[in-house]
Amino acid sequence: MTRKYFGTDGIRGRVGSGSITPEFIMKLGWAAGRVLSKQGHGTVLVGKDTRISGYMFESALEAGLSAAGIDIGLLGPMPTPAVAYLTRTFHAQAGIVISASHNAFYDNGIKFFSADGTKLEDDVELAIEAEIDKPMTTVDSLKLGKASRINDAAGRYIEFCKSTVPMRMDLEGIRIVVDCAHGATYHIAPRVFEELGAEVISIGVEPDGLNINENCGSTKPEALQASVVELSADVGIALDGDGDRLIMVDAEGNLVDGDQILYVIAMSRLLDEQLDGSVVGTVMSNLGLEHALEKQGIGFRRSKVGDRHVMNMLRESDWSLGGESSGHIICLDRTSTGDGIVAALQVLYAMVSSEKALDQLLTGLTLYPQTLINIPLDVPFDHDESEMVKAAMHTAEQQLGDTGRILLRASGTEPLIRVMVEGRDADLVQKQADLLADAVREATLSHSAQSA
């Protein structure tokens, strides 16, 4: 069924517009509380990242949940995967995260976790949407929900992160630069690596409500790259605003993306005989990763874009490792959702156990050149119905042959058509991407003119 409010990863948008207003968020809290109250009385945990609007939406959620008769446990600034973990360990009915992930401070959003620490099932989201459209009511005063602060949440999560690697692992002698994007991991990630013995230099750990993800973190890693080289660090770790995304940097300052991180973890698991089944990527995962894993006898399957789809494929097949090029890495044998800190620890374990630098662990993986071009849309456009686009795709596929691939898809969060071309020959990839993008632009302009 079509959702009215929920997108692929909760509800997200510009603060003050659409669904991202105090009024709507209070109603959302009430609607979620109404659905959860049918399962019995319990507590919902609420965490947030560091953007300034988080205070406002935390209060709005608290009011809505209380009005529905649900108790609230307030976690304060807390990474998204930490909320998933704490929801399980506190036996809460659900967890809610107030965050817009890697977006700028003027955006915000709401994500939900089930009692198992996983994304809500579709039927629960649809039930919440049905309640949102009803008039808001308040339970009797005797049944109002109570709110309390959970003061030891950070410490609990730090200990959990450390437990995802063997107790014998010692990071002594390893210098790490950690970029927390002025986000939810600022008070957690450095401590995790320090307590495991590493020398940690922290950047992006001074949130002011407005600087989250600003020229830092996993989407803007240039400052981290420079710091790793300048400080002669062994490795750099870049997290995003809510801590569920990871990009790394090797000792030479080279970026290590999600596909490369997946390869390192998969190979480490293979050597330890701990790899359960195939690895799951997405349709955007680099073809070089697929070929490198297959060469090692490791199966590789692709899901739709989005960690939700990666998770679903892993769970359906009872596999444990998957992720996206953007750095969402899921280690289901360690935790229930994508977790940047946990994924970084798995890479550090691979380095320590093999006594190899990060760049050495990437031997055997060659990423193919990949070009991604975003085509803005003025009006909705179905590229699958365009003969012009189909002809351009056919021509590009003939030119690439078996050495590359093409992907056209509509963005799930923005009015864009994404054109992706990859293959062994960089010049051919760029040429075909440009030609295909031109065809899509021409088709969209023609469609816009007809729709006017």
Give the mean model confidence (pLDDT) for residues 200-229. 98
Mean pLDDT over all residues of the chain? 95
Assign residue 66 a region: left if phi > 0, alpha if psi is -120 to 50, beta otherwise? alpha
Report CA torsion sign: 335, 340, 345, 348: positive
- Collapsing DSSP to helix, strand or coil, 272 comes out as coil
- Of the candidates 206, 9, 211, 237, the residue with the CA atom closest to the CA atom of residue 104: 211
- Collapsing DSSP to helix, strand or coil, 368 comes out as coil
3-state helix, strand, coil in the chain (%, to 5): 40, 20, 40
Question: 370-451 has which fold?
Answer: TATA-Binding Protein (3.30.310)
Give the mean model confidence (pLDDT) for residues 297-304. 96
Bridge partners of residue 255, in order along the sequence: 249
- DSSP 8-state secondary structure symbol assigned to residue 356: -
Q: Which residues of 181-218 are buried (b: 16+ CB within 10 A; e: fewer)?
A: bbbbbbbbbbbbbbebebbbbbbbbebeeebbbeebbb
Residue 327 has pLDDT above 90, yes or no: yes
Domains 170-256 and 257-338 belong to one CATH topology: yes
Question: Are residues 331 and 342 in contact, defined by beta-carbon separation less than 8 angstroms?
Answer: yes
Label residue 66 by pLDDT band (50, 70, 90): very high
Residue 178 has pLDDT above 70, yes or no: yes
Question: Are residues 357 and 291 in contact, defined by beta-carbon separation less than 8 angstroms?
Answer: no
- Collapsing DSSP to helix, strand or coil, 375 comes out as strand
Q: Which helix (H) or strand (E) holds 162?
A: helix 153-163
pLDDT at 224: 98
* Distance (Å) of CA 164 to CA 49, 67, 138, 335, 341: 23, 38, 43, 8, 10
pLDDT at 413: 66
For residues 445 and 433, give the distance between their C-alpha atoms in angstroms, rounded to a whole number.
18
Class of domain 257-338 (CATH, top level)? alpha beta
Label residue 173 by pLDDT band (50, 70, 90): very high
Question: Are residues 109 and 10 in contact, defined by beta-carbon separation less than 8 angstroms?
Answer: yes
For residues 382 and 411, give the distance between their C-alpha atoms in angstroms, rounded to a whole number.
12
- Residue indicated by tokens 């190899």: 356
Task: Decide the pairing of beta strands 107-113 and 404-410.
Answer: unpaired
Known catalytic residues are 101
pLDDT at 1: 58
Question: 11-150 has which fold?
Answer: Alpha-D-Glucose-1,6-Bisphosphate; Chain A, domain 3 (3.40.120)
pLDDT at 222: 98
pLDDT at 414: 78
Bridge partners of residue 111, in order along the sequence: 97
For 225-284, the pLDDT digits (tens) are: 999 999 999 999 999 999 999 999 999 999 999 999 999 999 999 999 999 899 999 999
- DSSP 8-state secondary structure symbol assigned to residue 362: T
Q: Which residues of 291-307 are buried (b: 16+ CB within 10 A; e: fewer)?
A: ebbeeeebebbbbebbb
Which residues, in sequence order, are CB contacts of 311 under 8 Å at separation 6+?
A: 118, 119, 322, 330, 332, 337, 338
For residues 400 and 50, give the distance between their C-alpha atoms in angstroms, rounded to a whole number.
45
For 97-127, the pLDDT digits (tens) are: 999 999 999 999 999 999 999 998 889 999 9
Please determine, looking at this structure, whether the domain spanning 170-256 carries the CATH number 3.90.550.10: no
Lowest mean pLDDT among 35-39, 58-62, 107-111, 155-159: 35-39
Chain CA centroid to CA 15, Å: 20
pLDDT at 452: 66
Q: Give domain limits for the chain.
A: 11-150, 170-256, 257-338, 370-451
Question: Are residues 101 and 243 in contact, defined by beta-carbon separation less than 8 angstroms?
Answer: no
- Collapsing DSSP to helix, strand or coil, 354 comes out as helix
Question: Are residues 378 and 340 in contact, defined by beta-carbon separation less than 8 angstroms?
Answer: no
- Collapsing DSSP to helix, strand or coil, 128 comes out as helix
- Residue indicated by tokens 């039930």: 127
For 386-442, the pLDDT digits (tens) are: 899 999 999 999 999 878 999 998 886 678 899 999 998 999 999 999 999 999 999
Alpha helices, DSSP H only, in 340-425?
340-354, 358-361, 387-400
Residue 315 has pLDDT above 70, yes or no: yes
Give the mean model confidence (pLDDT) for residues 76-95. 97
